Structure 1
Amino acid sequence: MTLEQFTREDGQLARRYDYDDGTVFAVDFGTDGTNATVDLVDDTVIVVLEDDQYEIELPKTGEDAHTFIKNGVLTIELEEKR
């Protein structure tokens, strides 16, 4: 599922920020997300939240991806390769 499908189907609040050197996505899981974990496998972000698992496919843009979750907010940073 893409980030757009994920937020539309599950009602998550998400924002996209475009910068000269990359893109940042922020997804707010709310207070339930404070115990969530995140992992990145190839071009897929995997979020585990209690008994639920979400898989978000990243665009295949040739950018390096970094993910982390803090206080229920998932951050996905896509840095352009130089």
Structure 2
Amino acid sequence: MTLEQFTDKDGQLARRYEYDDGAVLAVDFGSQREDAAVDVVDCTVIVVVGDEQYEIDLPESADDANTFIKNGVLTVELEGDL
């Protein structure tokens, strides 16, 4: 799944912010989604929200990925030469 596919859903926001040493991906699942969970397996971010599962493939050039969900917003911090 690409980041742009998240914006196909009504009211859902997804952004990518580029920096010199990496990037940040942010996806808003809505503040009502306290049952969301996130994990990284190999180069894939797996997000489970209720009964739905989303997968985001990360660039292989990313050295490290830190993920967390707070108030329904998924944040993925990527380091490396993207």
TM over 0.5: yes
Short-chain TM bin = 0.7 to 0.9
Superposition CA RMSD, Å: 1.7
The answer (yes or no) to whether the contact 2:31–2:73 under 8 Å persists in 1 is no
Over residues 25-48 of structure 1, what are the superposed CA-to-partner deviations in whole Å (9 max), with x where a residue is unaligned? 110001232220000001111111
Q: CA deviation at 1:15?
A: 1.1
Question: In structure 2, how many angstroms separate the alpha carbons of the residues matched to 1:15 and 1:77?
Answer: 12
Aligned to 1:72: 72
Aligned to 1:38: 38
5+ long unaligned stretches in structure 1: none
Distance 1:15 1:62, change over 3 A: closer
SS, match of residue 78 in structure 2: strand
- Report runs of 4+ in structure 1 exceeding 4 Å deviation: none
Question: In structure 1, how many angstroms separate the alpha carbons of the residues matched to 2:24 and 2:42?
Answer: 18
Aligned to 1:54: 54
TM-score (norm 2): 0.83
Q: CA deviation at 1:64?
A: 1.1
Question: What is the letter of the counterpart of residue 73 of structure 1?
Answer: V
Question: What is the letter of the counterpart of residue 68 of structure 1?
Answer: F
Q: Does structure 1 residue 20 correspond to structure 2 residue 17? A: no
SS, match of residue 30 in structure 1: coil
TM-score (norm 1): 0.83
Q: By percentage of residues, which structure has more helix?
A: 1
Q: CA deviation at 1:63?
A: 2.6
Question: In structure 2, how many angstroms separate the alpha carbons of the residues matched to 1:44 and 1:70?
Answer: 19
Q: Does structure 1 residue 29 correspond to structure 2 residue 22? A: no
Question: In structure 2, how many angstroms separate the alpha carbons of the residues matched to 1:76 and 1:67?
Answer: 4
